[in-house]
Structure 1
Amino acid sequence: MEEPDMGIPPLFRCPISLDLFKDPVTLCTGQTYDRSSIEKWLSSGNSTCPVTMQKLHDSSIVPNTTLRHLIDQWLQINCSHGYDLDYFQTVDDSFVILKHNLQSKESTFETKVEALEKVLALSENLPFENCPLIQLDFFQMILELALENAVESSNFEDNLMFVEKALSCGLKLLPFSDLGTLNMLKEDESKFTNFLILFKKGTFFIKKSLCHFILTISSSLQLKELLSMLGKSKILIQELLHLIENKLDGSEESIRALYALSSLDQNREVIVKESAVKALITYIMNTPKCLLYRSFLAPIMAMKTIETLLVVQSAKEEVLNHPNGVSEIVKMVFRVSSDNEASESAVNCLIILCQDLMDAREEAICCGVLTKLLLLLQSQCTERTKNKARMLLKLLRSMCTGDQKQAF
C-alpha cells in the first residue's frame, strides 16, 4: 500500500498551535482556531484576531461544525487505509522541528545551515511527497531569513553563503507557494532595502537567484505595485546594467529581469535614464557571431527590451547617438536562424525609429536594411514578421529622395 502524499492538510491546523483541530471555533473575523488556543490568547488580555490582527468588535466564538465534520471524515478515510493520527503527527513533527531550528534565535549558525540543506533535499520531491513544506509556509520563513542575513557584519561572507542556500530553497518552493508572500518587500522598507543590498553586494549566484524572483514578480497581477517599486530603484537598475554591459556571470538573467521590469510603463523612464539602451546595444554588439546567428535567448531578449523602451523619446535618441546603435539593429533584421522573435523585434524597432528620425532612416539604408528586409521576405519567417517588413519597406520608400527610390 502506498503512503499518503502529505501530512495534515493546512486547513485542518490551528494557526496558533499548528496542531490538528480538536474543537474548531470561529471568531467574528471569520478566522478559525482551536478552542483551547484562542481562549488562552483572549484570556491573556488580547483583543485582536491573531491572524488578521483586526480589533474584535465581538468576542464571542462559534463552533465550526462543518470543519469538524470534514476532519472526522478525513480521519476515518485514512484509518480505513491503515493510517492513524499518530502517523501524520510523526510526519509533521519532523517538519515542525526543522522549522523551529531555522527560526529559533538559540540555534547555531551550523544548525541553521544543516536545516536549510535538509529543506533543499526534501524540496526535490515537490509538489506532492513533502507538502508540509508548503503547509507550514517554509517559503515565507526562508525568504525572511535570507533578507535578514543581508546586513553586513564581521561574518558577512558566511552570511552570503547562508543566503545562497536559503535562496536555493526559496526557488524550489516558489512555484508551490503563495506569491502574495513576496509583497513583504513592498510592505517592509527594511526588507526592500536588504533585497537591494543583496543585489549590490551579493555573489553572482545570489544576483541570478534574485533575477528569478523578479521574473516571478512580473508574472503576478497582485505583485504589480512591487514590480513598480523595483523598476524605479536606480540601485537595482544600475546593478542589472553593470552585469549586462560587462557580460558578467548573470548577464543573461539580468536581461530577462530588465525586460520584466520594463513591462510597466511607469518603469521605462527610470530604466532609460540609466542608459539601458546603450548597455543592451553594447551587449548585442559584443555577442560572438556564432551565438548571435543561432537561436540564442539573451540577444533576442535584449532586442525585445530595446523595443519596449523605445516608447521613451530619449531611448530613440540613445540608439541614434550610439556609434553602432542603428547598424546593430539592422544586423538583427535577418539572422540565419529558425527563430523569428529577434527579427520581428528588430523590424519593430526600426519602424519606431524611422517614423520619427530622418537620421535613423538614412543610417538604416546606409547599413543595408533594404537587402536584409528582402532576404527576410524570402525566408520562412512568420507572416506577421513579413507584414512588418513590408510596412518598414513602404515607410522607407515614402521618405526617400528620387535617387534613393531607385534602390527599391
Structure 2
Amino acid sequence: MNFRWREGRRGRNGDKKAVDESINLEITIPNHFRCPISLDLMKDPVTLSTGITYDRESIEKWTEAGNQTCPVTNQPLTSVEQIPNHTIRRMIQDWCVANSSYGIDRIPTPRIPLAPFQVTEMLSRFKAATNRGDQDGCLLLVEKIKTLMKESERNRRCIVENGTCAVLSASFESFAASSFEKNVKILEQILASVAWMLPLDSEAQSFLGSPISLRCMEWFLKSGDIMRRRSTVLVLRELVSVDDLYVLAVAEIDGVIEPLIRLIKEPICPASTKASLMVIYYLVSTSSQHKSKFAKMGLVSLLIEILVDSSDRSICEKALAVLDEIFGCEEGRQVAYSHSLTMPVLVKKLIRVSVLATEFAVSAVWKLCKNEIREEGCVLLEALQVGAFQKILLLLQIGCADRTKEKSTELLKLLNSHRGRSECIESVDFKKLVRPF
C-alpha cells in the first residue's frame, strides 16, 4: 500500500513565480505494519495464540462473526485472548514520526479495553453507594461508566453484558422511591446511561417498569429538560414494546398523554419523535379510551401535518399506524372528516413509501369510508377526487398482503358506487386545498 504526496518546488530566490515543477514522493507501508485482514496500517496491534499479529478491530470482527480459526494460518484458536503487541505498536509509531513530513500522523497509544472484572468491581461500588444513599458517589461512577461506553463499542458491550443495566435500573427505582426532586441529578444520569444500553434485559425491565419508576419517568416527561425527556421516552418505548403489562401500567398514568404529544409537536430529534409515536401506538392499540383522548387533544391534525412535511419513511410508517388506530373510534374519525388534508395525504401515502405504510394507509382510508354516516358520501367523493380509485386498483394489480387486499377490494366497491358523481384529479395536486394551520 502506497501513500503519494505532490510537492511543488520554488525558485532559488523564493519568488512567488516559482517554477511549476513537481515531484512524486511515494511512501510504502512496511508489510509487517499492516493488518493481514484489512491491509491497513495497524492502530492497535494484538497477537493471537497462533503468533500472528492483527489490528484489534479487524480480528474482533472476525471472531464475532463466529470464526474460530486464525485467518492467516487457518489453525484453530485455542484461546480468543488478544495480547497487545507493544513492540510492533512502538515501531509503527516511530515510523509515523519519521515520516511526519509527508503528512503521516502518529497513531495514538490505544487505550486498554475494559475487562469484565473491572465492570464487576465498579458495579459493586455502585451498589454500595446506592445502599448508602450516596448520590455524589453514584454520580461519579455513572459518569465513569458513560465515559467508558463512549470510548469504544467494545467497552459498551462489555459493560452491557456484565449486568450493568439491571444494577442501574435497581438504583433508579431506589432513588425514585426516596425523592424525585432531591435525587433528580442521579436519576437523570442513570436514565441517560440506560438509554445507551438498550435493549433492556428482563431484570432491568422489572425495575424500570415498577409504579414508582414509571411515575418518576412521567415527571421527567413533563419537565423542560430536553435530554431528560429524550432518555425517558426511549426507555418507555423499550418497555411498552416488550410486554402488554407495561403498556397497561403506562396507560394508567393520567399525565402521560400531553407530554408525549408535546414531543411530536416540538421535536427534539428523530429518535425521540419515533419513540413517542411508538409509545402512543401501543397505548391507542390497547385502549379505546386513549384513542378518544389523543384525538381530542389534537393528535390527528398534528400527524397529518407531519405526513405532509416529513420524508422520513420510519416516521411516516409510525404516524400512519397511529392514525389507523385512532380512526377506530368515532371521535378520531370526526376529527379526520373535518380536516381538509386528511384524505389527500392518506391517498398520497398509499404507494411509494413502504409496504408497511401502504398497509396502514389502506386501513385508515377503509375505516373512514366504511364508517361514514352521512348519506351524501362526502368522504367517498373526496377520495375519488384525489385519485384513490386508481391507486387502489394499481395496488391490487402489483400485489399486497391478504388483509390489505381484502380492504382494498371493499374500498373499490364503495368507491365504484360514487364514480359517476365526481371527476378524478391527481392525488399530489394540493394547490387548491387550504391547510388549516
**Residues 229 and 94 from structure 1, CA distance in 2 versus in 1: closer, same or farther, beyond 3 angstroms?**
closer
Q: Does 1:326 align with 2:343?
A: yes
**Map of 1:104 onto structure 2:** 132
Instruction: Identify if the C-alpha distance between structure 1 residues 192 and 128 changes in structure 2 by more than 3 Å, giving closer, same or farther.
Output: closer
Residue identity over aligned pairs, in percent, reads 20
Give 1:207 deviation, angstroms: 2.0
The Cα of 1:112 is off from its aligned counterpart by 2.6
The DSSP-based 3-state class of the residue aligned with 1:334 is coil
The 1:150–1:343 alpha-carbon spacing in structure 2 relative to 1, beyond 3 Å, is farther
TM-score by length of 1: 0.62
Contact 2:380 2:415 in 1 (8 A): yes
Provide closer, same or farther for how the CA distance between residues 211 and 137 of structure 1 changes in structure 2, counting only shifts above 3 A: closer
Contact 1:212–1:253 (8 Å) recurs in 2:
yes
Contact 1:163-1:206 at 8 Å conserved across structures: no
Cα drift, residue 355 of structure 1: 0.8
Matches within 5 A, 1:4-403: 92-106=120-134, 109=136, 111-120=137-146, 129=158, 133-134=162-163, 137-144=166-173, 147=176, 151-152=180-181, 159=184, 162-173=186-197, 175=199, 177-179=201-203, 181-182=205-206, 186-188=210-212, 191-221=213-243, 224-249=244-269, 250-266=272-288, 267-287=290-310, 291=311, 296-335=313-352, 337=353, 339-357=354-372, 358-379=377-398, 385-398=404-417, 400=418, 402-403=420-421
Check 1:136–1:285 CA distance in 2 against 1; reply closer, same or farther (3 A cut): closer
1:73 aligned partner: none
Displacement of 1:210 in angstroms is 1.9
Evaluate the alpha carbon distance shift between residue 146 and residue 213 of structure 1 in structure 2; reply closer, same or farther with a 3 A threshold.
farther
Instruction: Give the 3-state SS of the residue equivalent to 1:262 in structure 2.
Output: helix
The answer on whether the counterparts of 1:377 and 1:386 sit within 8 Å (CA) in structure 2 is yes
Unaligned 5+ segments in structure 2 are: 1-47, 50-115, 426-437
Q: TM-score when scaled to structure 2?
A: 0.59
| Separation in structure 2 between the aligned mates of residue 368 and residue 195 of structure 1, nearest angstrom | 45
Q: Say which SS state the counterpart of residue 144 (structure 2) adopts.
A: helix
User: 1:300, 1:341 within 8 Å by CA — same for their partners in 2?
Assistant: yes
Give the alignment's Cα RMSD to 1 decimal: 3.7
1:255 and 1:322, CA in 2 relative to 1: closer, same or farther beyond 3 A?
Answer: same
RCO greater where, 1 or 2, for CA within 8 Å and sep 6 or more? 1
Shift of 1:359: 2.3
Q: Which of 1 and 2 has greater Rg?
A: 2
Evaluate the alpha carbon distance shift between residue 94 and residue 371 of structure 1 in structure 2; reply closer, same or farther with a 3 A threshold: closer
Q: Which amino acid aligns with 1:370?
A: F
Distance in structure 1 (CA, Å) of the matches to 2:252 and 2:381: 35
Moved more, 201-210 or 135-144: 135-144
Matched residue type, 1:350: V
Q: How far apart are residue 101 of structure 1 and its match?
A: 3.1
**Is the contact between residue 306 and residue 349 of structure 1 (CA under 8 Å) also seen in structure 2?**
yes
- Give the match's secondary structure for 1:344: helix
- Are the aligned partners of 2:349 and 2:358 in contact in 1 as well (CA < 8 Å)? yes
The structure with the greater share of residues assigned to helix is 1
CA distance in 1, matches of 2:280, 2:165: 33
Amino acid at match of 1:349: A
